[in-house]
């Protein structure tokens, strides 16, 4: 009996150790109530009883936003989102990282709603030191309003990779040594929101929110934050050790398979790339546009 108990305890202890190793750097609990706080309009936020899913509502009165309790410097952030069904023109649903003002850094997923029959547009952007003119826009290869899909920001000392269901849709490389801005010193919380972008989001402001179709509801599902929690010392987060696996050499560039997917997305789904907008930049594109 005692022997049996002893054996049982050993197996249990082993399990605990294995789980701890595998989860060494995952700092999220999966419970919205524990990892995030509602920053804007609690009356427009609903969280499931188990804390595992959350909805944000936009109506004539208000939108809504929540933010993580912790701030991070590098890591991977995965968020499941189901977008506003039906007529969603003028609405903007977001998932992003944002440092404090002024001269802030920001890494954005912005989902731009549309009129019926027209696809959602996914805009990504990177701000460095308060400058954000780096928009890219793509259409998705599925209807993002029907089911949850996973949107990921992988941010390390070498590059930022935006992913949709693990497929890279964009990279932004660290060329700070050549004078290109890169978010690498300011910690950022994870944020998500829904708001009225009538003046720019759809057709450059042509199609506005139609309030007779409100409320507009976006759903957030499972999420994971596997990242370096900011405790005041940037060196801890810059290290490329097993804890900060995202900083390791193997994550400094895409794999061959990832590269092929990225090429496919850019060939068939890209609708706007600031690096091809000569007119906007009077013929002198930002420096990073000519770097590999
Ligand atoms: C939250 O739930 C209440 C009651 O079911 C509902 O009236 C409200 O519209 C919901 N809000 C959101 C943001 O889904
Ligand atoms: C808004 O939606 C309502 C109801 O579908 C429709 O009657 C109205 O024409 C729409 N307004 C605009 C400006 O499109």
The stretch 31-41 carries a mean pLDDT of: 98
User: Model confidence over 141-162: pLDDT tens digits?
Assistant: 999 999 999 999 999 999 999 9
The angle subtended at Cα 270 by Cα 93 and Cα 223, nearest 5°, is 40
Strand partners for 108: 96, 125
Per-residue pLDDT at 19 exceeds 80 = no
How far the first Cα of the chain sits from its last, in Å, is 66
Task: State what percent of residues in the chain have pLDDT above 90.
Answer: 89
Q: Which two tokens stand for residue 93?
A: 């649903």
User: Model confidence over 95-137: pLDDT tens digits?
Assistant: 999 998 789 999 999 999 999 999 999 999 999 999 999 999 9
Indicate which residue's Cα is closest to atom 2 of ligand 2.
212
| Burial environment of residue 183 by CB neighbours within 10 A (0 to 12, 13 to 18, 19 or more) | buried
Q: Provide the pLDDT confidence category of residue 15 given band limits of 50, 70 and 90.
A: very low
Nearest C-alpha neighbor of 271 from the set 101, 97, 140, 77:
140
Mean pLDDT of the chain: 92
The stretch 50-61 carries a mean pLDDT of: 98
**The pLDDT of residue 16:** 41
Distance of alpha carbon 287 from alpha carbon 179, whole angstroms: 8
| Burial environment of residue 90 by CB neighbours within 10 A (0 to 12, 13 to 18, 19 or more) | buried
Residue from 38, 57, 192 to probe ligand 1 pocket by mutation (most atoms less than 8 Å from CB): 57
Per-residue pLDDT at 247 exceeds 80 = yes
**The pLDDT of residue 100:** 87
Give the count of beta carbons closer than 10 Å to the beta carbon of residue 281.
13
Helices and strands (H, E) in the chain, number of each type: 4, 15
Q: State in Å: Cα 212 to ligand 2 middle.
A: 7
Q: Where are the domains of the chain?
A: 26-290
Distance of alpha carbon 93 from alpha carbon 169, whole angstroms: 18
pTM: 0.90
**The pLDDT of residue 139:** 98
Indicate which residue's Cα is closest to atom 11 of ligand 2.
210
Distance of alpha carbon 270 from alpha carbon 124, whole angstroms: 11
Distance of alpha carbon 275 from alpha carbon 285, whole angstroms: 6
* Helix H or strand E encompassing 151: strand 149-155
Q: Provide the pLDDT confidence category of residue 22 given band limits of 50, 70 and 90.
A: very low
- The three-state secondary structure class of 120 is coil
The stretch 171-190 carries a mean pLDDT of: 97
The stretch 33-40 carries a mean pLDDT of: 98
Torsion from C-alpha of 161, 268, 92, 164, nearest 10 degrees: -40
**The pLDDT of residue 249:** 95
* Helix H or strand E encompassing 257: helix 256-268
User: Model confidence over 192-222: pLDDT tens digits?
Assistant: 999 999 999 999 999 999 999 999 999 999 9
The stretch 247-262 carries a mean pLDDT of: 96
Q: State in Å: Cα 210 to ligand 2 middle.
A: 6
Is the domain spanning 26-290 CATH 2.60.120.200? The answer is yes
Task: Write out the catalytic residue numbers.
Answer: 106, 110
**Whose atoms come closest to the Cα of 63: which ligand?**
1
**Whose atoms come closest to the Cα of 209: which ligand?**
2
Which residues lie with the beta carbon below 6 Å from any ligand 1 atom?
Answer: 44-46, 55, 57, 217
């Amino acid at each position: 009996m005692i022997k049996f108990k002893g054996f049982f305890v050993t197996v249990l202890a082993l399990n605990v150790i294995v789980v701890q190793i595998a989860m060494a750097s995952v700092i999220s609990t999966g419970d919205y109530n524990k990892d995030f706080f509602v920053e804007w309009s609690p009356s427009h936020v609903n969280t499931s009883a188990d804390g595992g899913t959350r909805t944000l509502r936009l109506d004539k009165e208000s939108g809504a936003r929540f933010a993580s309790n912790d701030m991070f410097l590098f890591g991977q952030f995965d968020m499941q989102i189901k977008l506003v069904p039906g007529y969603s023109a003028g609405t903007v649903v977001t998932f992003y990282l944002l440092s404090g003002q002024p001269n802030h850094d920001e890494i954005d997923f912005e989902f731009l709603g549309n009129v019926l029959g027209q696809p959602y547009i996914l805009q990504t952007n990177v701000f460095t030191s308060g400058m954000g003119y780096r928009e890219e826009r793509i259409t998705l290869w599925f209807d993002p309003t029907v089911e949850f899909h996973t949107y990921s920001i992988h941010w390390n000392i070498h590059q930022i990779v935006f992913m949709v269901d693990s497929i890279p849709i964009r990279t932004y490389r660290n060329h700070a040594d050549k004078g290109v801005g890169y978010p690498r010193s300011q910690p950022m919380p994870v944020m998500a929101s829904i708001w009225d972008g009538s003046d720019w989001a759809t057709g450059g402001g042509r199609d506005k929110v139609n309030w007779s179709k409100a409320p507009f509801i976006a759903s957030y599902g499972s999420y994971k934050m596997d990242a370096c929690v900011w405790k005041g010392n940037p060196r801890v987060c810059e290290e490329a050790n097993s804890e900060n696996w995202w900083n390791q050499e193997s994550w400094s560039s895409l794999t061959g398979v990832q590269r092929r997917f990225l090429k496919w997305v850019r060939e068939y789904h890209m609708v706007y790339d600031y690096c091809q907008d000569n007119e906007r930049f009077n013929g002198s594109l930002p420096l990073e546009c000519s770097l590999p």
